[in-house]
Copies of this chain bind each other. A is one copy, B any other.
Amino acid sequence: MATEQALTELRALLGDRLTTGESHLAQHGQNESYYATALPDAVAFPESTEEVSEILRICHAHDCPVTAFAAASSLEGQHLPIKGGISLDMMRMNKLLAVNAEDLNCVVQPGMTREALNTELRATGLFFPIDPGANASIGGMAATRASGTMAVRYGTMRENVLALEAVMADGTIIRTGSQARKSSTGYDLTHLLVGSEGTLGIITELTLKLQGQPEAISAATCRFDSVEDAVNCVILTIQSGIPMARIELVNAMMVRGFNLHNGAGLPEKPHLFLEFQGSPNAVREQAGAFGEIAEEFGATGFAKAESTEARNRLWALRHGAHYANNALDPGKRTMATDVCVPISKLAEAVTWAETRTQELGITSTIVGHVGDGNFHCGLRVNPDNATELQTCKDFVNELNDRALALDGTVSGEHGIGIGKQAYMAREHGPALSYMRAIKTAYDPKNILNPGKLLPPGNM
């Protein structure tokens, strides 16, 4: 068999860094979402770009699927090797290769996690602002075009990856971009690879923009009588141009999760979690301007978190939302939605989602990077209960269609993976075939993360 032949050659290349051990296969076939386990035939642990190139050369020769794996925190099953083949575990390529402090950038390997990166950066006075809840790998974050709580201020991975090194399907190593802040020299392959979910190439090195640590940071929470009030407060804040560093919605059900899981002791009402960054004056100005708007929408219970410890506690709560969700209907799994709509449509979308899940009897939290118009329902579902699963899927379907009708997108940051392929044609129409054309040109044998991102169709 072709895969057998590939494994033989890979074993010669990697020795015991190619494994078919059951525990390794199992670990690489799991996911944090509701998708079924999918085992690879083997797991490879490359330690250099050259090894990744050799691995792809071998797999390409033998039509053996290759699915990149790192922190495994993706929520649409992106790292699951659903067609078998090799799980390419990038976690040994986890070094910070350079910090170019004068140019406000750094060069990292894809297996480094964002927390490890920021720990290493601490002494430089710089930080990397993109923070999905999980301690994701930088390579995975680029591959899914991740964002998170600070995207409202600093943009997503789209705006923060300056340059890439990647290994293409046949093993060719390419470099895209440079350390210059901008360029007009040809097709933008950096942005093509960011968000391609490992289907066009394997990212082996990233140059990232960094930000100076702000002089002053102040966080706060406040609560509202309804998600509609909370979201309308957000809309006016953004429209007023207040440069929020973070502005996050959590609905009453999510607060219940925080209370159960974290002992947060918060009133079970919709909250906004906020952060202001800048000079001490700017932070005061921003907080004052926000406070005036919040008052208009009946905000109460303002609580500041100014010390580093208090802020860390606040954001650890928010970042742990996925886990706090598990406290809400124990034994079930979480189906996460990820629509993003124009901010003027956000109140309509969020209030519809909350009302509709309640009508359907689905336990669902809502958390949102609402400054971007992006929010997540965390639907608790027993995937073995076909009726319940269908109810949840129908809800998600309706939510996604509504987002598209509002000229939004079905995914603000989680990506397509397995779960959202059905929406690709609906969201992109004729443009979808121009995505397929790139896949066909770059990976004619379809060995790179097959079965992901693009829906089945003419390849």
Contacts and interface: CB of A to CB of B under 8 A. Distances in A.
Interface of A: 100-105, 144-147, 151, 155-156, 158-159, 168, 172-176, 178-189, 191-192, 194-196, 200, 211-212, 235, 238-241, 279, 281-282, 285, 338, 340-344, 372-374, 403, 407-416, 420, 423-424, 427-432, 434-435, 437-442, 453-454
B189 A188 contact: no
Contact of A187 (B144, B168, B196): B196
Contacts of A411: 183-185
Contacts of A409: 178, 180, 182-185
Nearest to A374: B182
A439 B438 CA distance: 10
16 contacts: A102-B343, A145-B184, A145-B188, A174-B431, A180-B403, A180-B409, A181-B373, A182-B340, A182-B413, A183-B412, A185-B411, A186-B195, A186-B435, A188-B195, A212-B240, A438-B441
Contacts of A155: 159
A182 B412 contact: yes
B343 A103 contact: yes
Contacts of A103: 342-344
Most buried by B among A144, A185, A341, A374: A185
Contacts of A408: 178-180
Contacts of A281: 281-282, 285
Given A168-B434, A180-B407, A180-B412, A186 B344 contact: no
Nearest to A146: B184
A28 B188 CA distance: 28
A151 B185 CA distance: 17
B183 A340 contact: yes
A414 B200 CA distance: 28
A184 B435 contact: no
Contacts of A437: 441-442
A323 to B, nearest CB: 22
Given A437-B441, A438-B187, A344 B180 contact: no
Contacts of A373: 180-181
Contacts of A145: 182-184, 188
A282 B188 CA distance: 35
Given A191-B192, A344-B102, A186 B416 contact: yes
A415 to B, nearest CB: 4
A431 B164 CA distance: 11
B195 A184 contact: yes
A188 B102 contact: no
A411 B281 CA distance: 38
Contacts of A183: 145, 340, 409, 411-412
A180 B279 contact: no
10 closest residue pairs by CB, A with B: A191-B191, A102-B344, A183-B409, A174-B431, A212-B241, A180-B340, A179-B407, A145-B184, A437-B441, A103-B342
Given A174-B429, A189-B431, A413-B184, A102 B235 contact: yes
Contact of A343 (B181, B192, B428, B434): B181
Contacts of A403: 180
Contact of A416 (B179, B185, B212, B241): B185
A168 B434 CA distance: 9
Contacts of A439: 187
A380 to B, nearest CB: 23
Contact of A181 (B105, B279, B285, B372): B372
Contacts of A181: 340, 342-343, 372-374
Nearest to A165: B431
A40 B454 CA distance: 40
Contact of A184 (B159, B175, B212, B414): B414
B412 A179 contact: no
Most buried by B among A159, A342, A413: A342
Contacts of A195: 184, 186-188
Given A101-B239, A181-B373, A183-B411, 15 more contacts: A100-B344, A145-B183, A168-B434, A175-B428, A178-B427, A180-B341, A180-B407, A181-B340, A182-B412, A184-B195, A184-B416, A185-B409, A186-B416, A188-B191, A212-B240
